[in-house]
Structure 1
């Protein structure tokens, strides 16, 4: 067996939040530290808000996520507010200066209905002029083509907090329109499968993304194609967006 709690701990091993070493985290860090109040939508295990508090953020920090096991891990700290819920359930009128969705969490909003409801709720949770920062993989880069055990770079081998060695890799199941469905396999080093975790992600292009943001009342303040703030071009792998509540 491989429990939900173990899956949450594995996520932290595979995705450590470190603004000193990881370009994406470095991009978000000054935005978070410069905002008096921050809503982390899809906060997962809360690693980003943990680091922000450790490094001196004294304002309001709130993490929102529907995954109870991940939130149980996040709640090891009590100086951050943790809320169980989806993006569409963000509280209206909360007056946040900044909302963020990191780790490509935005791509988990798969249907038009989810996108519209989530963007409307995030918009309503911000103060007038508040900002929403997030990233989504640019579909032109076709990142999913590397999500396979045949790609050595996609196989991760880690040792858990309890000293257990694990292997993790992906396999794509389908690509239908702009939605990619895949699964991640957690296994012992000998290949014995412990758990299969399924997920679907939506790959919006720049025009489609802009349409959803405008419909929700957001104005795009900046968009970048990479973490060094380069403009979006034909080689970009990311669509990194800072949008402002109009």
Structure 2
């Protein structure tokens, strides 16, 4: 079940207003260039920011997400007809024969159990041509990002087209490593509505991620920094074993 921040019909349309300018996605465009990827699978595509960026640069793109409300936002954006949007996950895909699969943001950490993560990796592998690539990011546990989240509790307000001002507040609700849970509370002053979204992420260390990849039939080619968040994340560049 997707978190409300992605699946709730009131929250999905305001997601982009709080998500910043997404300059982090330029790194994935550069990786697609580096790997000469022509067919890209964007798993957990959300409201479609990366999928649309890749499509504008000439890629054939498939955007997949389990949250229909987020896909509705993506489908309404300019250029959305260039992307094939699929409601689902990595275990329910049609044959794609992609050159590159990507998971950005917190997607990889949303798979909390070993079984769900393994099934996802196997599903992605089945959609990649032999020798092609999976690239994703995951937060470094040792940076303890949740401590920064817990210290920054001030509400943030954005003006959202069609809604007016919307306020969001973040609260860390539990730290039981490797799991960290948090809650977003959204207030809509126009009608007084309050909507909450609860999430839990799993923080895997580098060795754990690499072992899971090897078990699923991927070879780690490189582990990089996220250019816009140095020292905070691992960016895994992996290759499907033939």
Q: Say whether the fold is shared (TM-score over 0.5).
A: yes
Q: Which residue of 2 aligns with 1:237?
A: 232
Counting matched residue pairs gives: 230
Q: Deviations over 1:36-73 (max 9, x none)?
A: 1000000001111122223x31x421000000000111
Instruction: Please tell me whether residue 60 in structure 1 is matched to residue 60 in structure 2.
Output: yes
Q: Which residue of 1 aligns with 2:42?
A: 40
Distance change >3 Å, CA 182–CA 163, structure 1 → 2? closer
Q: Deviations over 1:62-107 (max 9, x none)?
A: 000000000111112222100011233334x421000000112111
Q: Which residue of 2 aligns with 1:173?
A: 173
After TM superposition, list the pairs within 5 Å mapping 1:116-155 onto structure 2. 116-148=118-150, 150-151=151-152, 155=155
Tell me how large the CA RMSD over aligned residues is: 2.3
Greater CA drift, 129-138 or 155-164: 155-164
Query: Is the CA contact (8 Å cut-off) linking 1:17 and 1:25 kept in structure 2?
Result: no
Query: Is the CA contact (8 Å cut-off) linking 1:123 and 1:245 kept in structure 2?
Result: yes
Moved over 4 A (4+): none
Greater CA drift, 24-33 or 117-126: 24-33
Query: Is the CA contact (8 Å cut-off) linking 2:140 and 2:234 kept in structure 1?
Result: yes
After TM superposition, list the pairs within 5 Å mapping 1:77-156 onto structure 2. 77-91=80-94, 93-148=95-150, 150-151=151-152, 155-156=155-156
TM-score by length of 1: 0.85
What are the ranges of 5 or more consecutive residues in structure 1 without an aligned counterpart? 231-235
Report SS of the residue matched to 1:35.
coil
Quote the Cα distance in structure 2 between the aligned partners of 1:71 and 1:114. Answer: 22
